[in-house]
Structure 1
Amino acid sequence: MSPLPWHDIDTVLLDMDGTLLDLHFDNHFWLEHLPQRYAELHGVSRVMAELELKPLFERHAGQLQWYCLDFWSAELNLPVRELKLETAHLIALRPDADTFLAAIKRAGKRVVLITNAHRDSLSLKLEKVELAPYFERLISSHDYGFPKENPQFWDALHADIDFNPARSLFIDDTLPILRSARNFGVAHLLAVSEPDSRQGPKDTAEFAAVGDYRDLIAGL
């Protein structure tokens, strides 16, 4: 990966899950813990639980309700917030993410968190990992009513924080979201090579990817 042109970057927009935080927590919760607890609480087999959950997950993926704990609590008749607490010990920073955050803040960059996470998920993670002091704003897509995949999210974000897309860096682990940001005009885009520490590197298609956050600090 080429060094970032930090002299051309004023604003750094950062995703949370899979970008700053290890995606293992979320993957484990949605793919392992939730199906198991769904089976136990609804009195069905684990296989049946997965058969019932899979089409629901597929139907709502990439939409705002996919990220909404209130929606899933009602849809599944489960206390999703409380179930998340049962695995909260898995919430963890990706290696050297805090080193990177401290460096860009010291360099005087404007740093904004933009996440699709529901406010309750965001609060839970901020209780476990001290992220808030690094950011000017902590923005959930639920604040605007559109997920980051939707072009209307970017219009709302621009109206809210008045950033210059041509002088902004955005890092995210989800390719459709990076493409949405690119379509809006965000000039500097990076994917994440290994969002889940237990699953190995992923294909980041046309996007350069960060593997080690220390590599991004060069030239700051």
Structure 2
Amino acid sequence: MLPWNQIDTVLLDMDGTLLDLHFDNHFWLQLVPQELAKQRAITVAQASKLVEEQYASVAGTLNWYCLDYWRDTLGLDILALHRDLVDRIQMRQDSMPFLQGLEQAGKLRILVTNAHPDNLQLKLEHTELRRGLDKLISSHETGYPKEHPEFWLALFERFQLEPARCLFIDDSEPILAAARQAGVGFQLGIKNPDSKKPHKHFSDFPSIDDYHLLLDDLLAGG
């Protein structure tokens, strides 16, 4: 599926790509409305409608991913609520075998996430993800989300990357498109970011639902 001999660096999204997105979906779509309903003495349905409207208003911007923004906007201690659910943070079952395979094949492994640095740190503390990575960056460090071309310019410069020899893996088709437009040579979608939801369909990019599908070719050198 991929010409591994043309790929030096693998850029990996975190939530939904290396970690099971079920945690985030549960947190933002269920726990946050429940807590907001308690705080404001409204129904959970009313709270859900309110937060979904708020989410939609900043979709695709850095604020959408910013815990500080949601703390101030909703009046909830978002990080504390995350800590209450740390037992739900799980890696995908196929992530570590793939990350270890990339190391064995001599590929540079860079985590490229829109997650807020506090959120990122929490997830690194409660999973084995860090030992499967060489470098990492949160888009908050650049001032731009992955949807924005300036993020990619900052990424390439920071790690002295040759974009054409990079593979980017993500569960979001618009973000894969942003990477392609920025000059990233190869893109791959993840069809099953949330283990509790049906598979997604990718119309413009190759996609998989199990990293084990890549290992034979990866270790053979592509």
TM-score, length of structure 2 as denominator length: 0.96
CA distance in 1, matches of 2:198, 2:48: 24
Counterparts of residues 23-172 of structure 1 (less than 5 Å)? 23-172=21-170
CA distance in 1, matches of 2:80, 2:74: 13
**Aligned with 2:109: secondary structure?**
strand
**Superposed displacement of residue 150, structure 1:** 0.3
Cα RMSD after superposing both structures: 0.9
CA-to-aligned-CA distance 1:46-102 (integer Å, 9 cap, x gap):
122122212111001110010000110011111000111222211111121100001
**Aligned with 1:191: secondary structure?**
strand
1:39 and 1:45 in contact (8 A); partners too: yes
Amino acid at match of 1:50: S
CA distance in 1, matches of 2:146, 2:80: 26
Residue 199 of structure 1 is aligned with which of 189, 197, 200?
197
CA-to-aligned-CA distance 1:2-30 (integer Å, 9 cap, x gap):
2x211111001000000000100000100
**Superposed displacement of residue 159, structure 1:** 1.2
CA distance in 1, matches of 2:50, 2:11: 36
Q: Is 1:10 the counterpart of 2:8 in the alignment?
A: yes
1:95 and 1:213 in contact (8 A); partners too: no
CA distance in 1, matches of 2:164, 2:44: 48
CA distance in 2, matches of 1:127, 1:44: 35
Amino acid at match of 2:111: L
| Runs of 4+ residues over 4 Å off in structure 1 | none
Amino acid at match of 2:96: D
Unaligned runs of 5+ in 2: none
TM-score, length of structure 1 as denominator length: 0.96
Amino acid at match of 2:31: H
CA distance in 2, matches of 1:141, 1:64: 8
Unaligned runs of 5+ in 1: none
**Aligned with 1:62: secondary structure?**
coil
What is the count of residue pairs matched by the alignment? 218
CA distance in 2, matches of 1:155, 1:76: 32
2:170 and 2:190 in contact (8 A); partners too: yes
Amino acid at match of 2:124: L
**Superposed displacement of residue 42, structure 1:** 2.1
CA distance in 2, matches of 1:91, 1:107: 28
